[in-house]
Amino acid sequence: MDVIVGGGVVGLSIAWRLARSGRPVTVVDPAPASGASHAAAGMLAPVSEVTYTETPLLRLGAASLRRWPAFAIDLATDAGLDTGPGSSEEPFAVPGLDLRSDGTLDVAFGADDLAALDELAAYMEKLGLRVERLTGRECRRLEPMLAPSVRGGLLAPGDAWVDPRRVTAALLTALGRLGVPVVRARATGLLRDGDTVSGVRLAPPAGEIPADRVVLAAGAWSGELADVPVRPVKGQIMRLRSPRPLLGRCVRGIVHGSSVYLVPRGDGELVVGATQEEMGFDTRVTAGGLYELLRDARELVPGITELEVADVVAGLRPGTPDNLPVIGPSGTPGLTLATGHHRGGVLLAPLTTAILLGEESELAALCAPERFRDIS
């Protein structure tokens, strides 16, 4: 039996795909779907998020985004949710998961921002990515609530987004229907049989669970069970409630040097994210975090001022030294890693499951744990 340690979007996705393929599997998590996946905005935006140094991450993201339509339709079907038309043509949509693919709009304010946007557009085109350079007026025609001071933008028409809370809820439903146990306990250590990992130890009074394989998908906490170079990167995020949708697609911008994005939900909610803070295992919502989000979001879309604050949370992303996830056999028999997804857990969940099921050998090499020494 496989034991998956971690009930976030990555661990639950792995468990679901394994169970679907007929393998016996158990999930262990003291509070499933309550960590980084609960805080995540759910942008599936590999193009919009590309940076000059991270083409490997772009390749992973683009490959995973291509897998999202089928992943979402299968998941919505298994969970008994609305799959929509069921086609993977663009723009695709899966209403039951609030998945939409109307693109992401990056906007610029000053002349410097515009020049940077032009350079980025040229770089993206060189990479063969589909992007459209827009004037300020064209941006506002697409998104009339944008600030008048927006000078130009870059539309990544293939980027998508999803509601991560619906995804994890659907995964839990699907696992329930497949008869997969979800043990609500904390894994405190790995059982070993000589050099081989043979299960997990649970916090008292829950005991132990033997396993043929342990898949460590514990996000920022993965380092507590194995020697994997993952650190917590705190993100604070805010959900605003709007009587009617304010935006038709994801909007991002660099404001005061920090990146802010707004993700619209089908029910009118607007997610504003996110801080990136190196604060250890600190999940406090702070005055400074909220201030930064509100200040920057108001610059992009002044109309948010009147919206109700529905929810503010902080989550911990599992960051790695090279910003790439750590997926695959750990080097220790019986222990497989599926962690270190940093800001991309939701986007990369389909690809992660594909790698673990042996369906993506080329990209698997980019994520292989052996690139870090001293993994045990």
Interface with a second copy (CB under 8 A): 238, 240, 284-288, 290-291, 294-295, 297-298, 304-309, 312
Kindly tell me which of 217 and 270 has the beta carbon lying closer to a second copy: 270
Give the nearer residue to a second copy in terms of CB position, either 37 or 275. 275
What's the sign of the alpha-carbon dihedral 65, 69, 75, 80?
positive
Nearer to a second copy, 31 or 285 (CB): 285
Nearer to a second copy, 81 or 240 (CB): 240
Measured distance CA(303)–CA(180) in Å, rounded: 45
Smallest distance from a second copy to CB 189, Å: 31
- C-beta of 312: minimal distance to a second copy in Å? 7
- Residue of 102, 110, 10 lying closest to 336 (CA atoms): 10
Instruction: Supply the minimum distance, in Å, between the C-beta of residue 309 and a second copy.
Output: 5
Cβ proximity to a second copy, 115 vs 285, nearer residue:
285
For residue 47, which amino acid is it? Answer: V
Q: How far is the CB of 145 from a second copy (least distance, A)?
A: 13
Asked whether the beta carbons of 269 and 308 are under 8 A apart, the reply is no
The token pair that represents 374 in the structure block: 């001293």
**Residue 288 C-beta: closest distance to a second copy, Å:** 3
With 0-12 / 13-18 / 19 or more C-beta atoms within 10 angstroms meaning exposed / middle / buried, residue 220 is buried
Q: How far apart are CA 231 and CA 223, in angstroms?
A: 8
Give 115 or 309: the residue with its C-beta nearer to a second copy.
309
Alpha-carbon span 340 to 325, nearest angstrom: 4
CB of 336 closer than 8 Å to CB of 326: no
Distances (CA, A) of 188 to 63, 183, 206, 226: 34, 13, 11, 11
Give pairs for 373-376: CB < 8 Å, separation 24+.
Answer: 374/227, 375/226, 375/227, 375/228, 375/330, 375/331, 375/332, 375/337, 376/226, 376/227, 376/330, 376/331, 376/332
Q: How far is the CB of 281 from a second copy (least distance, A)?
A: 14
Task: Classify residue 195 by burial, with Cβ atoms within 10 Å: 0-12, 13-18, 19+.
Answer: exposed
Shorter beta-carbon distance to a second copy: residue 125 or 306: 306
Q: Where does residue 331 fall: left (phi above 0), alpha (psi -120 to 50 degrees), or beta otherwise? A: left
- Cβ pair 31, 315 in contact under 8 A: no
Cβ 81 to a second copy, closest distance in Å?
Answer: 30
Nearest residue (CB) to a second copy, 112 versus 311? 311
Of 109, 107, 94, nearest in space to 133 by CA: 107
Q: Rounded to the nearest whole angstrom, what is the least distance from the CB of residue 98 to a second copy in the complex?
A: 21
Name the minimum Å distance from CB 327 to a second copy.
34
Residue number with CB closer to a second copy (134 or 240)? 240
